Structure 1
Amino acid sequence: MPSYVTDANLNSYQLAFCGAVAGVMSRFVVAPLDVVKIRMQLQNHRTGFGFGSTPHAPIKYTGVLHSLKTIFKEEGIRGWYKGNVPAEYLYLSYSAIEFWTYKELETLIDGMDPEQKVPRVTKTFVSGMVAGSVATTLTYPFDLLRTRFAVQGDTKHYTGIYQAMKSIYTSEGMPGFYPGIRPALVQIMPYMGLLFATTHDMLSGALSGIFSKTAVYPIDVVRKRLQVQGPYLTNYVIQSTKYQSDSWWQCMKLSLYKGLIPSLIKVAPANAVTFLVFEETKKILVAL
């Protein structure tokens, strides 16, 4: 019983290729908004859901357009694409692993339910949830690098992917590549489950992405704040704020929805492009 995402004429590796192409294209489209979202998430002030704010530090990024203009003025167009190389690796490998795992799980579950007694939406939700968790775990170091590159100021602690990985391993060991992995998995399971269960075309991909992202967004804020702890802390974005890896509450108490607007603006085109490119690439492979 192939779903909208998979296809009976394509195997898991072909679908992984489709996912990789879709991931790369999606990342290129939303890169500037991703940088804005990350920097807004890491600012050290409270937000008031449009009813004002109680600042604990100067607010540098106050809105999407203002943030884009500020980054462009201070860092040029390259500032919009900081962290783009590890992010492209992340989106490529994440999408490939996710769609490969989804296909394998769908086949496995259908084999265990030959009479199709389990509702289709349940199968797609479970498959999407597990596929997202596997992809997140395997590609998390790229997510970490994407975040740390995106928040670098004038002082470049990390100058390249290899240098960054070597620096993190030397100063933090293997655990240094996985700060925030627990909230990341808690976030991704319902998010990807809902996304796969409700996606049937480009429009529903965009709408389901907005709904899912809003539901789990506070955990994304926690993940980003945990990712920038460690020896690399002092920069003009996070104001040297430290968060204990086992204290989610400490990370959440400043603001649960900081950076939500650029995140929502980003998630609609990101998911729309992902599923559009995925579907078109799939059609090409089927035709070939």
Structure 2
Amino acid sequence: MVGYDPRADGRNVSNLEVAVAGSVSGLVTRVLISPLDVIKIRFQLQIERLSRSDPNAKYHGILQAGRQILQEEGPTAFWKGHIPAQLLSIGYGAVQVYKTLRNAVVTMYRTEGPLVFYKGLNPTLIAIFPYAGFQFSFYSSLKHAYEWAMPAEGKKNGAVISPNLGKSCCSWIVMGEPRREEYKIQSFDAVTQQLLKTALKDPGAVDLEKVANVIVDHSLQDCVFSKEAGRMCYAIIQAESKQAGQSVFRRGLLNRLQQEYQAREQLRARSLQGWVCYVTFICNIFDYLRVNNMPMMALVNPVYDCLFRLAQPDSLSKEEEVDCLVLQLHRVGEQLEKMNGQRMDELFVLIRDGFLLPTGLSSLAQLLLLEIIEFRAAGWKTTPAAHKYYYSEVSD
């Protein structure tokens, strides 16, 4: 719809929702503008000039035509369909027939003059302004009504947000739904920005294995980017599939993830931040990449292994790793349990044992571990009482 900017929208509005709101607003607008449209059709079908000086002219002005139609046919006449309106409009027993387009133009010009081609112009012009205004107004009202009735997706009810999240927010922002996203990637240099933009719009024009390496490399350095990179990867995979029906980018991405997974202990020893970024990234990819609307089996065990590592005693003594463990379980824990419930049981045995450690855990780590244990026990939901308790504790 002209004037609609999905980037300015705070929620993810799908193409279907936009189409419904636009269609209904158009329907309502047509109902309101129909009287002027009926008058326009009557003017166009009238053979006589639209003038009071012509005694045979049934209609000669907008107001006069409106009164005439109302008196003769009643108020419902203004909402008759075009074909019935045309048949009932002027009360003749005969219909003007033209053999060809050229014959129609010549005949109309000779018999009625050049102004015949502008019959109905005035009501059409008058209708344009309220038509456009009503449509935009009703579209906006219907869209807001839909948003009020159907809250935005992506807000996990009761999910506890770690206080560390607010500390790392920086320049990389993603807006919109995965199929139609705009990425603000100011943290990249100009050449890399252009590479990623091209990959999103025309994946066949760039080296997609290079793109995969760029995204992984940056994800290991920037925790904020690693939280959102799954969306970009999903968008590139979709664009490549539509354009060429191939999966070069996905293969390159999974190969690189496997390489980093095999060297995860070295990564953790070298850089704790890089390790946390990797776990965040692979969980993000697991959340977005699907096969037949199911998570990729190839990622299930690697994701579990990463979470098991975060649940070890030496990791639980570090708030960064506890924070990462809890956040990822909030994000993909329910999906993982459906894929392999036994491993989830084993993971939570480690988490419960870690919570009971006599020393080594900070008060924040204990709080987060207790919250995730209760979160899973409640069916991957947070009860209102628990929600109030943990939020108040975190804010304190």
TM-score (norm 2): 0.31
